[in-house]
């Protein structure tokens, strides 16, 4: 299998081939996911909740993400690996450059930042310095205290129009991928059609260029709360490898997500 790059992911969008991705946090799972044919993996700051037992992503540090990025890279040396930049690690352009460098040195191929217009200069600076950037719009987990909880974003017309405008601005600034989280299906469809870069959805409907899920959610490990947009792939699988292959196949075929996993 050819090594996945941002160029090959962009070509997948152009060719209409769906992109399958999942969070990963250590070498063992990363090896399994790579062997199953996962297109890319994200070391998500979701590790704060899934691994550390926190109630949000806010306590996660750059050192935490770098530690887990090294593990994932060791387990999947040929994989395309994206690393989340944690809360307040990119509040200034200088901070963003220094912290992104740490994650790239740990093995990331790309970093992900949450936010819109205020990040334009930061994305330009990172791109100019050789750091590929994935932007993130919709529900922003690092901003949950401002948003007042984990709520669907973009249902009101003004908010939807703002999201479309910001997506275009982020692409123009140099973002090479965009995650859309918990937005209405039709809004995600519109943004995906307008952008040249791949869109990756989580709770954003079937029309994004790809899908991503938190591994603990899709394996049924999460015990206290299962988001609407999650499907438990272990229910019909005898092992993790089968669950992952089924997930990848359903993303590629368009079978996942179904309407019950989406927001109107």
The catalytic residue among 54, 181, 186, 260 is: 181
Q: Is 45 annotated as a binding residue?
A: yes
- Asked if residue 245 lies in contact with residue 36, where contact means CB atoms within 8 angstroms, the answer is yes
Q: Is 194 annotated as a binding residue?
A: no
54 is catalytic: no
Q: Is 114 annotated as a binding residue?
A: yes
- Asked if residue 231 lies in contact with residue 59, where contact means CB atoms within 8 angstroms, the answer is no
Q: Is 117 annotated as a binding residue?
A: no
Q: Is 84 annotated as a binding residue?
A: yes
Q: Which residues are annotated as a binding site for 3-methyl-2-oxobutanoate?
A: 45-46, 84, 112
Q: Residue ranges for the binding site for Mg(2+)? A: 45, 84, 114
Residues involved in catalysis: 181
Give the residue numbers of the binding site.
45-46, 84, 112, 114
């Amino acid at each position: 299998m050819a090594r996945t790059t941002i160029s090959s992911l962009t070509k997948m969008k152009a060719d209409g081939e769906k992109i399958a991705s999942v969070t990963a946090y250590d070498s063992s799972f990363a090896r399994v996911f790579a062997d199953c044919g996962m297109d890319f993996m994200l070391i998500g700051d979701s590790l704060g909740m899934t691994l550390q037992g926190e109630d949000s992503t806010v306590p996660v540090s750059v050192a935490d993400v770098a530690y887990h990025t090294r593990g994932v890279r060791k387990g999947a040396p040929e994989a395309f690996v994206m690393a989340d930049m944690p809360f307040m690690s990119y509040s200034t352009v200088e901070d963003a450059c220094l912290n992104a460098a740490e994650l790239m040195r740990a093995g990331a191929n790309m970093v992900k930042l949450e936010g819109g217009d205020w990040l334009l200069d930061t994305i330009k600076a990172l791109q100019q310095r050789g750091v590929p950037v994935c932007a993130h719009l919709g529900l922003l987990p690092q901003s949950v205290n401002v948003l007042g909880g984990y709520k669907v974003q973009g249902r009101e017309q003004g908010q939807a129009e703002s999201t479309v405008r910001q997506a275009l601005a982020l692409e123009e600034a140099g973002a090479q991928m965009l995650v859309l989280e918990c937005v209405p299906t039709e809004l995600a469809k519109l943004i995906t059609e307008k952008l040249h870069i791949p869109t990756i959805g989580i709770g954003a409907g079937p029309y994004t260029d790809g899908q991503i899920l938190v591994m603990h959610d899709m394996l049924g490990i999460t015990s206290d709360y299962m988001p609407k947009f999650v499907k438990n792939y272990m229910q019909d699988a005898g092992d993790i490898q089968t669950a992952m292959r089924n997930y990848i196949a359903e993303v590629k075929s368009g079978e996942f997500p179904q309407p019950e996993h989406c927001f109107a």
